[in-house]
Amino acid sequence: MAKPTGFLEYSRELPGDLDPQERVLHWNEFHRHFSEDKLRTQAARCMDCGIPFCHTGKLFNGMASGCPINNLIPEWNDLVYRGLWKQALIRLRTTNNFPEFTGRVCPAPCEGSCTLGINDPPVTIKNIELAIVEKGYQEGWILPEPPATRTGKKVAVVGSGPSGLACADLLNHAGHLVTVFERADQVGGLLMYGIPNMKLDKSIVQRRIDLMAAEGITFTTNTEVGKDYPADQLLHNFDAVVLCGGATKPRDLPIEGRDLKGIHYAIEFLHANTRNLLGASLAEGGKRTISARGKDVLVIGGGDTGTDCVGTALRHGCSSVTQFEILEQPPKERQPDNPWPEWPRVLKVDYGQEEAIAIYGDDPRVYTIQSKRFVGDEKGRVKEVHTVQVEWAPGANGRLVPREIPGTEKVWPTQLVLLAMGFLGPEDQLLDQLSVTRDERSNVKAAFGQFATSVPGVFSAGDMRRGQSLVVWAIREGRGAAREVDRYLMGSTRIRG
């Protein structure tokens, strides 16, 4: 334990962000950084608990409790407090392939399960994690480390999101020849095109990709396996295959007027925006970049993707932005049925809402609201959405269902609707060609911890296997799949997944 009385002497403190009014004028990351002295003080608050729930990585009531990749948090907090940054980096990299990603975009379930958080604000784990890895880059401690020997075994990883990259990274270091297939023009999956630049600068993603390429991984872009590269050829050319294509089938809203112009899936909006920032042509496959400038924007969906749409629309210069959520507003404090160390289901103001409040004076979120139909103008473009408020009440089977409240109908003007209601599962083409078995949710059926599909030599990890989830869960899945692929190829494994 770094400082036995640290949690009594110091309060939680985070570096302030750029002012919302300023940061919406650009696409740069907006989080400021602490000095080393400040970081050491925050690390001193870690109590090195006898049972550190911060790195348990368990699921309670369907939500993560503690770090899913089992980061050795108390250990590197202690090392940071003592100024041993390089040793802290070594401990961090033992469990986390990409702390520069999780330190930026992870919602930090570790902090939700910090023991100090029972009666005080938790340790600033996420902020310290990011500081460790960025110091590693600044000091030149993170350099290409290609394997000393090669096994001669060839592995194909389909998909270059966080699970695919984590899997490829460990398999490459085990000595296998790894090829990562990506259908987009840039490597990174949702890290590149699904998360906006102000949350994760694309140079940070490319920095890691360049490092992995220097270590011997082959990245093949603009290649959709199952379309540009036949699935049977994949099985013929590689000793093992890992499917990490994500859950990319967006949930639709099939109500009247859905076919009007100006209604898009959120991922289309975010993907096109990032392509534009990276200098791509405005036209992609016949679709032009979707602009929110001067429009009343409606975001349907209250998760992280919805928040990203709010932040992106504000940077476009929208006239207004509103965010619909069919669920009830979360409470401001933990409720008795949501005890520690469960993830705290409480109201949070994320960066997008904070920016909207700063610009328009109000939180853009509207709760317990249901869209009934879209209405268009004479040119076939959406101009308004009709809604009704709902209340959640027990249905016939006892489960809560939304019921419309008479007299609460309302019309909202909008010229751009973004559907951010989550994803239903993986796309079908490749999985059908490989004839892999699916589970009841249409995901690839592969047991957690084994990751093997019904087809010998074919494995699966990440959202394609478990459904839509967090980046940190995807990394854990990719690590576990790498371990099992190595065992399949070599008979045993030294990979810690």
What length does the chain have? 497
Q: Give residue-wise pLDDT tens across range 15-62.
A: 999 999 999 999 999 999 999 999 999 999 999 898 899 988 888 877
In the chain, what percentage of residues exceed pLDDT 70?
98
Q: Model confidence at 280, in pLDDT bands (50, 70, 90)?
A: low
Tokens of 120: 């005080």
Write the DSSP string, 156-189. Answer: EEE--SHHHHHHHHHHHHTT-EEEEE-SSSSS-T
pTM above 0.75, yes or no: yes
Write the DSSP string, 82-128. Answer: TT-HHHHHHHHHHH-S-HHHHHHH---HHHHT-GGGGTSPPP-HHHH
Instruction: Centre a 10 Å sphere on the Cβ of residue 146 and count the other Cβ atoms it contains.
Output: 12
* Cα–chain center distance at 114: 21
CA-closest candidate to residue 91, choices 50, 132, 51, 53: 132
Tokens of 112: 């939700």
Rounded-to-integer distance, Cα 295 and Cα 415, Å? 6
Rounded-to-integer distance, Cα 346 and Cα 353, Å? 15
Q: Model confidence at 288, in pLDDT bands (50, 70, 90)?
A: low
Where residue 368 falls (left for φ over 0; alpha for ψ -120 to 50; beta otherwise) is: left
What is the average pLDDT score of the chain?
Answer: 95
Cβ atoms 430, 440 nearer than 8 A: no
Element (H, E) at 423: strand 423-425
**Please, what is the Cα angle at 216 between 210 and 217, to 5 degrees?**
70
Task: Please report, for residues 2, 20, 383, 386, the alpha-carbon distance to residue 306 in angstroms, rounded to integers and kept in the order given.
Answer: 40, 18, 20, 20
Q: What is residue 197's DSSP assignment?
A: T
Q: What is residue 129's DSSP assignment?
A: H
- Per-residue pLDDT, averaged over 466-473, amounts to 94
Tokens of 93: 């990299």
Q: Model confidence at 369, in pLDDT bands (50, 70, 90)?
A: very high
Highest mean pLDDT among 48-52, 61-65, 375-379: 375-379
Domains of the chain: 6-138 (1.10.1060.10), 154-248+424-490 (3.50.50.60), 252-421 (3.50.50.60)
* Cα–chain center distance at 204: 15
- Per-residue pLDDT, averaged over 489-495, amounts to 97
Rounded to the nearest 10°, the torsion over CA 200, 206, 209, 210 is -150
In the chain, what percentage of residues exceed pLDDT 90?
92
**Residues facing 394 on adjacent strands:** 400
> What does the pLDDT read at residue 397?
87
> What does the pLDDT read at residue 58?
84
444 three-state secondary structure: strand
> What does the pLDDT read at residue 258?
98
Tokens of 351: 């960066």
Per DSSP bridges, beta strands 382-394 and 400-404 are: antiparallel
392-411: b (≥16 Cβ within 10 Å) or e: eeeeeeeeeebeeeeeeeee
> What does the pLDDT read at residue 289?
80
Instruction: Centre a 10 Å sphere on the Cβ of residue 33 and count the other Cβ atoms it contains.
Output: 11
50 three-state secondary structure: coil
Q: Give residue-wise pLDDT tens across range 166-209.
A: 999 999 999 999 999 999 999 999 999 999 999 999 999 999 99
> What does the pLDDT read at residue 268?
96
> What does the pLDDT read at residue 279?
84
CA-closest candidate to residue 356, choices 413, 292, 402: 292
Rounded-to-integer distance, Cα 412 and Cα 456, Å? 53
> What does the pLDDT read at residue 62?
76
> What does the pLDDT read at residue 420?
98
- Per-residue pLDDT, averaged over 1-25, amounts to 92
- Per-residue pLDDT, averaged over 261-278, amounts to 95
Tokens of 399: 């489960």
Task: Please report, for residues 333, 334, 337, 350, the alpha-carbon distance to residue 330 in angstroms, rounded to integers and kept in the order given.
Answer: 9, 9, 13, 14
Task: Please report, for residues 83, 215, 247, the alpha-carbon distance to residue 452 in angstroms, rounded to integers and kept in the order given.
Answer: 43, 26, 18
